[in-house]
Amino acid sequence: MKIGDLVRCRPRDPGEDFSAWLGIIIGELPAGPWADATEYKTVQWMNSEDRNALETVNHKAKDLVAVNENR
């Protein structure tokens, strides 16, 4: 996944429902020298049920699912 891709958040358990949220990757934080060496993506989220709900959050890349790749 790269900057510009549309993504959804992967639920961590069956009770989580993020279906109303759609995000676009606006930044990348490369894996660093810390113990888990995880790559992070900065995502701007929009909620389809509440158009005024916008959030910018850093997520582990493995917690995101690509909806549409911008190539």
Average pLDDT over residues 18-41: 83
Average pLDDT over residues 37-47: 89
Instruction: For the chain, give every domain's residue range.
Output: 6-12+19-68
C-alpha 1/C-alpha 44 separation (Å) is 14
Q: What's the pTM value of the predicted model, to 2 decimals? A: 0.81
pLDDT in tens, 55-68: 999 999 999 999 98
C-alpha 42/C-alpha 35 separation (Å) is 20
Q: Rounded to 5 degrees, what are φ and ψ at 54?
A: -120, 140
Average pLDDT over residues 46-59: 89
